[in-house]
Homo-oligomer: A and B are copies of this chain.
Amino acid sequence: MQPTAATPLHAEVPPLHGRSNPADVADLIATVEDDQVAACFRALEPEQRVDVFEHLGQHDRERLVQALGQPELAQVLHGMCSDDRAAFFRHLPEPSRLALLPLLTPAEQEDVAHLMAFPEESAGALMSTEFAAVPPDIPVERAIEELRALAPRRETIYTVYVVDSERRLLGAVSLVDLITAPAGSLVREVMDPDVVALPADADREEVARTIAKYDLMAVPIVDPERRLLGIVTEDDALDVIELEKSEDAQLASGIAPDPAGTPYSQTPARLLVRRRVVWLLVLLLTALVTARVVAAFEATLASVVALAFFIPVVTGSGGNTGTQSATLMIQALATGDVSVGDWARVFIKELLIGAALGAVLATVIYLIGLAWPDARQVAPVVGATMVAVIIWANLLGALLPLLLRRLGIDPAVAGAPVVSTVVDASGLLIYFGVARLLL
């Protein structure tokens, strides 16, 4: 990632869009004080309000719920896309949810309840029920006529799904294919029957990956009988990937992710402390094992104090090496490049890599130790330890994510803090073991 300007327009380019863009207006509302937010929202044209509301984060949406009257809220809720509306209700605190549900029509209430029943991170929770579907045996001209009428009430009509009388998915056809089809063709003749579909319980990351892999504009979600339940569009997939990206990085650094994805500047310090302190405490208690290891070798340490100089060097190098291999493996697992069954191949590859890295680092630290009078005595110990610790840390970093995946735990928790804390204790055990052997 390179440093980028805050504005999407370069200084030399004259402004090509004004403040009328819903995403920009939403940004503006996010900066307004609580007592101004309703007035600001009311200043919008009624037809703009839904678009702006959909671009707001959950925090600002809830501020508006507090500030606006029921008729205004009802108008916004009626206009929202079904997936956005369900996500909004999902993240709402129970009392607000109960207060707002009666503002919806019975059909909308049923739709929200239906979508909220799917687990939080599943395809079902992400999908919109506003897709365009046509029967197979009508001419393309009639399909286009139907789409023209449907367009305003559908998430997308660029991909049109072909379903039978029981809503079973038969195929898909793009709007371009309909438009460019020879006059009089039937939908069935121009549709693609090999359509990629996902079940409603698929993980949202799988949804995003499928859309990216097959370059889809939307992926249909089906039930076990192949009945079309909804669609997830490409822009929702993009949002998911952005959210997963930050969640994974936070998990890897020992921070409990925030499901609503509230930005840093809007998260109170109190909440950040709560999301961070648990892992820090767990790791602190784990680090006491390391303290015990050092204590067990008190006598060795008392006779050769120079050994203490290299404690941070040994633990640091081990932690850095393990962090590297863990990062590569977490990524390889996430993209499906490596699976748990490949552990033997990973073991051999990382054994070789660890040996090569260990040899380089050990040689450097050994030569430096020899050149440092106070440390000359322990140089062979540090050198020998370095080879072993690097190989061990490298294997641990690579295999821990595989083990976690095998146990059904998200491998992203095998981030730097966890790996280096585990490596610290075992690394120092190796260090003092070698010291007792050589000195």
Residues of B within 8 A of A18 (CB): 194
Contact, CB under 8 Å: B353 / A269: yes
Judged by a CB distance under 8 angstroms, whether A206 is at the interface is: yes
Contact, CB under 8 Å: B2 / A417: no
Interface string of A346-370 (1 = CB under 8 A from B): 0001001100110011001100100
CB distance from A291 to the nearest CB of B (A): 4
In A98-126, the 8 Å CB interface with B consists of 121
* Interface residue total, chain A, C-beta cutoff 8 A: 151
A214-B21, A305-B302 given; A320·B197 CB < 8 A: no
Between A and B, 12 residue pairs with Cβ closer than 8 Å are: A3-B405, A4-B209, A13-B198, A13-B222, A13-B224, A234-B238, A237-B238, A265-B337, A276-B357, A279-B324, A312-B424, A319-B417
Contact, CB under 8 Å: B20 / A194: yes
Contact, CB under 8 Å: A196 / B21: yes
Q: How far is the CA of A305 from the CA of B420 in the complex (A)?
A: 24
Pick out which of these stretches binds chain B: A32-40, A61-69, A242-250. Answer: A242-250
Interface string of A271-311 (1 = CB under 8 A from B): 01100110111011101101110110010011001101111
Judged by a CB distance under 8 angstroms, whether A344 is at the interface is: no
Q: How far is the CA of A215 from the CA of B156 in the complex (A)?
A: 12
Pick out which of these stretches binds chain B: A89-97, A133-141, A173-181. Answer: A173-181
Interface core residue of A269, A302, A364 (most chain B CB under 10 Å): A269
CB distance from A256 to the nearest CB of B (A): 11
Contact, CB under 8 Å: B294 / A298: no
A279-B320, A312-B315, A323-B254 given; A23·B158 CB < 8 A: no
Q: How far is the CA of A211 from the CA of B238 in the complex (A)?
A: 9
A323-B416, A327-B253 given; A226·B317 CB < 8 A: no
Q: How far is the CA of A312 from the CA of B5 in the complex (A)?
A: 40
Q: How far is the CA of A406 from the CA of B26 in the complex (A)?
A: 28
A202-B10, A312-B290 given; A250·B332 CB < 8 A: no
A3-B405, A13-B197, A273-B356 given; A420·B169 CB < 8 A: no
Residues of B within 8 A of A250 (CB): 327-328, 331
Q: How far is the CA of A427 from the CA of B206 in the complex (A)?
A: 42
Q: How far is the CA of A301 from the CA of B147 in the complex (A)?
A: 80
Q: How far is the CA of A151 from the CA of B179 in the complex (A)?
A: 10
Closest to A328 in B: B264
Residues of B within 8 A of A313 (CB): 284, 287-288, 290-291
Contact partner of A199 (CB less than 8 A), chosen from B13, B179, B425, is B13
Contact, CB under 8 Å: B280 / A317: yes
Residues of B within 8 A of A328 (CB): 250, 255, 264, 272
Contact, CB under 8 Å: A357 / B287: no
Judged by a CB distance under 8 angstroms, whether A71 is at the interface is: no
Residues of B within 8 A of A8 (CB): 196, 198, 202, 206, 209-210, 213
Judged by a CB distance under 8 angstroms, whether A205 is at the interface is: yes
Judged by a CB distance under 8 angstroms, whether A336 is at the interface is: yes
Contact, CB under 8 Å: B308 / A12: no
